Every structure is written in C-alpha cells, then in structure tokens.
Amino acid sequence: MTAARASEFELIARHFAPLAGGRRIDAHGLKDDAASMAARPGFDIVMTADAVVRGIHFLPTDPPDLVARKALRVNLSDLAAKGARPLCYLLCLALPKEIDEEWIAGFAQGLAADQLEFGIELAGGDTTSTPGDLMIAITALGEVPAGRMLRRGAGRIGDEVWVSGTIGDGALGLIAAQGDLGAAAAADIAALTDRYRLPRPRTGLGPCLVEFDVAAMDVSDGLVQDLGHMCRLAGCGAEIEASRIPLSAAAAAQVAREPALMARAVSGGDDYEILVAVAPAASTAMADAARRCGTPMTRIGRLVAGEGVMVRAADGGPLDVGRGGWMHF
C-alpha cells in the first residue's frame, strides 16, 4: 500500500527548500511565488526547458535519484551546447497518487548530488498532482559572455562536423536496460545502462567553445536527426562517415557482434553530447581547446551543398538509418 503523502507545502519545506538559493539566487526559502537573481555585467542569461515523462524518457523501474539527475542533466546539456555555465533551475513536478514521500526523498537526494557536482541552485517551481503519469519539467538558466551564445544554425557549407565524447551509448543503453542486448557481456550491459540512466552533460566543454565561431547543439534525439536540424537552419546538407563516429568500448563490442546496431547507435537518442560545425581553419585549435577542457572531440564529416544527412558506410554507400532519430509526435 502506498503511504499517505504530506501536503504540497510540507513536501517543499522538507525536501526542496534545503536545495534552494545560494550565492547568486535569492529563492526566499521557497516561501514566495518567485525568486530573484542579479545578472552579472558583461554576461547574457541563457534559458532552456525540458520535460521528462515516465515510460518515455525513463523507465518506471529507474531509481528516483537517477530520474532526478537525468531530468536535470538533460537541461544542463542544452546549456552546455549554448556555451553557458549553469546558474539555477526551476522544477515543476506532476505527481500521480502512487508516488510516495520515500520516492520524493530519493528524488531530492539525486538533485542535491548534482547541484553539488555542477554548481547549480534550485530557484523555485511548482508541485501538483496528476491523474496521468509522472512528469518532471525543469527550466534551467545559465550565463554566457554577452553576445557569445552558440547557435545551432551558424554553420556554413564546407564546415567540418565534430562531436564530443561517444555516440550510441544512450540508445544501446535503453536496449540494455530493457534486457534486450542478448549475449552482451555483463560489464557492457552495466556500462550502457548507466549511460542511458545518467547522461554526462558536457558543461566543461561548452564554455570553451565560445571563443570559436561555431554552430553547436546537443545530441538528444539522435545524431542524424539533430545534425539534420542544424543543416536545415544553415540551408545545407551533411555527409558523415560511420567509421569515424566515436563509439565507447561497450557500444563498439555490440556493433561488432551485431552490425545492424550501428544504425541504432547513430539514430537513437539520449547521448547528450555536443555536435559542432566549425570552419576547417579553426578546427585544430577548437579540438585542442576541447582536449584542454577535458572532453575529446572527433571529426565525423562535413557540411555540404544540398539537404539532408548522408551517413556513409565503410564501402562508401549510404547506411540506412531509418527515420534518423526520436520523434516526439
């Protein structure tokens, strides 16, 4: 039986007020309807919002602390792709009746851990009940030097396409978490599941990229689809090489065992890496800066005249990636 839940104000005071406010934010102990923040001279405020829904963005069996951290980190990934450093966030929870206070306590513990890791503060939000499924909506704010926010549509024909980290861990991790990776090694299943449940937003890399004239966005709905968004805004197409796409050791082992999984790796979501288009003359300096910031980047292709994204297989022909990524509707 699900234990009775405390009132909205009791839950806020007990679990979320301890997370609120800090050096930059006056959240008034979450006892008011709004918080206040002073913007630093010479900086712009960057705002982003993402919602995650149980059964769509995370599994019903995922632990509450990891659900909280994923909900926050997908927003931190958007800030990173804009070159922004995190400041604060607003949290809105729509809770079905079966979510009890023990779950909420674990959820708040996950937020506390990531606030400490990423230097971000809770500024407020809302809690409500719902007859539907659990939904977590976060609005995150960051800051970037004035006029330097990275844009996804700033690419030009001839630019090189680079991506941070590794691709495919999120998509293959979902398969692993659902128990559908077949004969995969236990260590690979654990590593991929962890990457699906707990994204690694590139918050250290994004601010390093603002010194370069690049187009950037995060990879959330699949490498091919998100690169397609970048191309449409730039009025061009892209060609990328499957052999250049960086895979983790765990993902590479699955693709070697079942080559058809390569299409899933480049079209599945939940990677939360940063995709960049940069002029060839600046690419070496950019890659060096990324390395100094602790995140390796890999050149995987280029922007070309035309439209759409072509993924070339090892034989030079096109790799069939289906619809290319996650579709929300």
pLDDT tens for each residue of 21-75? 666 776 667 776 777 777 889 999 999 999 999 998 999 999 999 999 999 999 9
Distinct helix (H) and strand (E) counts, the chain: 10, 12
Whether residue 328 is predicted with pLDDT greater than 50 in this model: the reply is: no
Full domain range(s) for residue 46: 8-145
Enter the tokens of residue 263: 């299409």
Name the residue type at position 150. Answer: L
pLDDT tens for each residue of 187-229? 999 999 999 999 999 999 999 999 999 999 999 999 999 999 9
pLDDT tens for each residue of 139-179? 999 999 999 999 999 999 999 999 999 999 999 999 999 99
pLDDT tens for each residue of 100-150? 999 999 999 999 999 999 999 999 999 999 999 999 999 999 999 999 999
Residues 215 and 192 in one domain: yes
Q: Tell which of 145, 180, 209 closes a domain.
A: 145
Chain centre distance of CA 212 = 22
- Residue 50 host element (H or E): strand 43-53
Looking up residue 57, the CATH number of its domain turns out to be 3.30.1330.10
Give a yes or no: residue 303 inside a domain: yes
- Residue 113 host element (H or E): helix 101-118
Give a yes or no: residue 329 inside a domain: no
Residues 137 and 278 in one domain: no
Residues 114 and 237 in one domain: no
Give a yes or no: residue 317 inside a domain: no
How many domains in the chain?
2
Residues 220 and 182 in one domain: yes
Give a yes or no: residue 56 inside a domain: yes
CB distance 326 to 222 below 8 Å: yes
Instruction: Single out the residue of 177, 180, 142 nearest to residue 59, CA to CA.
Output: 177
Give a yes or no: residue 226 inside a domain: yes
Instruction: Single out the residue of 321, 224, 313, 221 nearest to residue 263, CA to CA.
Output: 321
- The pTM score is 0.90
Name 235's Cβ contacts closer than 8 Å, sequence gap at least 6.
Answer: none
Residues 212 and 285 in one domain: yes
Give a yes or no: residue 327 inside a domain: no
Give a yes or no: residue 235 inside a domain: yes
CB distance 48 to 83 below 8 Å: no
